[in-house]
């Protein structure tokens, strides 16, 4: 799910979670994106970096809390 991080409004639902799908979508629609809130899946992170260059990447609250719990 692609959503607005400020309003939490869903913007789009991608057909799958593949790196190429995410990269292609962000490359096409993400020109103005400067901040990405996401789980820290290495494949997702690589796709975001490849499509958007060097945006600020922030771990989403759920995954951040889960990592703390695991630690």
Q: Region 31-48: what's the mean pLDDT? A: 91
Total domain count, the chain: 1
pLDDT in tens, 10-38: 999 999 999 999 999 999 999 999 999 99
Helix (H), strand (E), coil (C) string for the chain? CEECCCCCCEEECCCCCCHHHHHHHHHHHCCCCCEEEECCCHHHHHHHHHHHCCCEEEECHHHHHHHHHHC
Per-residue pLDDT at 65? 94
Domain span at residue 17?
2-70
């Amino acid at each position: 799910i692609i959503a607005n991080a400020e309003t939490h409004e869903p913007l789009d639902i991608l057909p799958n979670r593949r790196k190429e799908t995410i990269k292609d979508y962000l490359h096409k629609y993400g020109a103005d994106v400067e901040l990405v809130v996401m789980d820290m899946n290495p494949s997702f992170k690589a796709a975001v970096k490849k499509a958007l260059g060097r945006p600020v990447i922030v771990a989403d609250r759920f995954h951040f809390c889960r990592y703390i719990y695991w630690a």
